A and B are shown apart, each in its own frame.
Chain A
């Protein structure tokens, strides 16, 4: 079939990733529920992963996909620890709205 980018073009994937990343940024800024903020961070990570794979196909090189594996490992660790922290916060405060978490405010 040849290189898939011949038919799609790397620009389309760049624009898709940019839009996905911006939606993630928007979610972090817009919502106050900490779980949704976490989901937005996952969306941003996925946008970057998608661009990694696109450029890996562009250069016909496997290393971009290796980086995606590492990013997945980091995302999994982040979600595990972050959700444990959220559960602990919820037990102590009774809510996970990030506006109420002012303990670290200077």
Chain B
């Protein structure tokens, strides 16, 4: 068993267990902390793929910006108490059954599909450095890039509008 495979298994175990603990833990603040760990381990997977730029962007955007937003909202709502009433038993049972069924179906689909055997090709061409990514992004995907900027602008305006309307209503 090679070193890379061992690293992969450790990272996968961390990813899956922290993702599960995110859902399972009672306090939202613990969920947020587990989710940060999950995001960092996914960034580790990206580093395993040698996609350094993507790993950095992932840490900055997800572990930085989005988790700060989550934490800020949790603090704002003062949700750090365990007064959450659980769903009815039948709903929880249904959720568990659906989870098991989806897992079994999707994994068996991928097991029975034609697996990729043999050597994976390594062309040796640089395809994931910042230079290449920037060229592809700004040459072939220029229009979606601009749309993404418009989307972010509209989202920002919408957020401001949503929180401003509340103040004027009072």
Contact present for B87 and A65 (CB under 8 Å): no
- Chain A interface, >50% SS class: helix
- Who on chain A is nearest to B110 by CB? A14
**Which A residues are closer than 8 A to B by beta carbons?**
2-8, 10-12, 14-16, 18-27, 29-33, 35-36, 38-40, 42-43, 46, 49-50, 53-54, 56-58, 60-63, 65-66, 68-70, 72-81, 83-88, 90-91, 96-97, 99
A-B residue pairs, 4 tightest by C-beta: A77-B155, A29-B95, A27-B23, A26-B99
Taking a contact as CB atoms closer than 8 A, the residue among B32, B61, B73, B122 that contacts A76 in the complex is B61
Known contacts A30-B87, A62-B133: does B16 contact A20 (CB below 8 Å)?
A: yes
CB distance from A34 to the nearest CB of B (A): 10
CB distance from B42 to the nearest CB of A (A): 5
CA distance A83 to B79 in the complex (A): 14
8 A-B residue pairings within 8 Å (CB atoms): A14-B110, A58-B120, A70-B148, A74-B151, A80-B155, A83-B69, A85-B162, A99-B87
Chain A residues whose C-beta falls within 8 Å of the C-beta of B62 in the assembled complex: 42, 46, 72, 75
Taking a contact as CB atoms closer than 8 A, the residue among B2, B15, B116, B163 that contacts A88 in the complex is B163
Contact present for A26 and B95 (CB under 8 Å): yes
Contact present for A66 and B79 (CB under 8 Å): no
Contact present for A68 and B120 (CB under 8 Å): no
CB distance from B142 to the nearest CB of A (A): 11
Number of interface residues, chain B, beta carbon within 8 A: 83
Contact present for B23 and A36 (CB under 8 Å): yes
Taking a contact as CB atoms closer than 8 A, the residue among A36, A62, A97 that contacts B132 in the complex is A62
CA distance A104 to B50 in the complex (A): 46
- Chain B interface, >50% SS class: helix
CA distance A7 to B74 in the complex (A): 41
CA distance A81 to B73 in the complex (A): 12
Binary interface encoding of chain B residues 1-35 relative to chain A, with 1 for a CB under 8 A from any of its CBs, else 0: 01011001000100110011011000010011001
The residues in B between 112 and 130 inclusive whose CB is less than 8 angstroms from any CB of A are 115-116, 119-123, 125, 127-128
Most buried by B among A20, A35, A49, A62: A62
- Who on chain B is nearest to A25 by CB? B102
CA distance A79 to B61 in the complex (A): 11
CA distance A12 to B61 in the complex (A): 26
Known contacts A22-B106, A36-B23, A84-B163: does B31 contact A7 (CB below 8 Å)?
A: no
Contact present for A62 and B128 (CB under 8 Å): yes
Known contacts A43-B22, A65-B51: does B77 contact A29 (CB below 8 Å)?
A: no
Taking a contact as CB atoms closer than 8 A, the residue among A26, A65, A81 that contacts B162 in the complex is A81
